[in-house]
A and B are shown apart, each in its own frame.
Chain A
C-alpha cells in the first residue's frame, strides 16, 4: 500500500515534466539562425516553441502547487542546476563529443529519442486523474506527434542517405542512446502517483518506445545500439556540466535585471 500523494509529490512530478520541456526548448533554440536551410531553421524553432509552451503550462501549474507566491518565471530563472529535475538527455549539447559544437545529426537523434518518449507519455497522461495535467498532456499529444514525425523523416534521410551521412547519423544515435535509459526509470515518487492514477510509470513506456525507435532505425538502415552504460541523476538534480552553461545563458537576463518584463 502506497502512502497518499502529497502536494509536494505533484510539485516534484510537474517539475520533471516541465523541466524536460524547458531545457529541450532552450537547447533546440540554439539552432535559430544556424540551421542548414532557412526552412529547417523555421521547423526547429517551431518545435522549440511548442516545447516552451508545454513548459510554461507545466511550470505555471507547478508554481501554483508549490505555493509561496512563486511564478513560472521564478521556477525557470531563479533555480540553480541542482534544483532542476530534467533528464540528462535534453541537456546534452547539440554537438559531437570532442567535435563540432552544433551537429544536425546529434540534434535529430536527441529529438527522435525524446519526442518518441514525450509522445507516448502525453498519450498516457491525457487520461490522468489530475484533470489539469490531463488537459496539458492532451494538447502535447498532437505537438509531439509532429516533432516525432520530423525527427523520424530526417533520421531516415540521413541514415539512408550518403555514406558520410549514414556514418554520422549512426554515431549520433550511438552517442545519445545511453542517456535514454533514464527516461524509463521508475522510483518511489512515480509509484505513488501511479497508485492514485495521476502519473505514469516510466518503465511501462519503454516497450512502446523501443518499438517506435526500432521501426525508424531499421527504415533508416541504422543499427539499434546495444544497451549498456546508463547514466542518470537528472531527476534528483545531479546533472552533467552542460546544464550549468545552458542555464547560465538562459537565466542571465533575468538575473541581471531581476523582475524584468516585456
Chain B
C-alpha cells in the first residue's frame, strides 16, 4: 500500500497540568476517536503527556509565507508596544 487513504490530523499534547497544549506532530487516522488513540500510541509512549488534542489538519487556516512581510514586518519598528517605557515605583516587588 502506498500513501494513506486516511486524513491527516494534527496532535497537541499537554506535558503537565498547568502548561498549555503544544503541537507535537501529525498522524493519519480514519476518524477523531482513532486519531486520539493513535496519538496516544505515537506521542505519549514515554510519559510525555497528561492530555491530548487532535484536530483535522484540513481545518487549520494558516498564514501564507507569501504574506509574511505584510503580516509581520510592520511590527518590527514599533518598540512602543513593548511595556518597557514605565518607571517601576520604588519598593514594588514581584513585577
A residues whose Cβ falls under 8 Å from a Cβ of B: 36-40, 42-43, 46, 149-150, 153, 157
Contacts and interface: CB of A to CB of B under 8 A. Distances in A.
Contacts of B6: 37, 39
A46 B28 contact: no
8 contacts: A36-B1, A39-B27, A39-B41, A39-B42, A43-B38, A46-B41, A46-B45, A153-B34
Contacts of A40: 38
A33 to B, nearest CB: 12
A195 B11 CA distance: 50
Contacts of B13: none
A157 B1 contact: no
A157 B27 CA distance: 19
A43 B41 contact: yes
B4 interface: yes
Interface residues of B, number: 15
A153 B28 contact: no
B30 A153 contact: no
- In order of increasing CB-CB distance, the 6 nearest A-B pairs are A39-B38, A43-B41, A42-B41, A46-B41, A39-B27, A39-B28
Contacts of B45: 46
Interface string B23-40: 000011111011001100
B33 A153 contact: yes
A149 B42 contact: no
Contacts of B37: 43, 149-150, 153
B45 to A, nearest CB: 7
A240 to B, nearest CB: 31
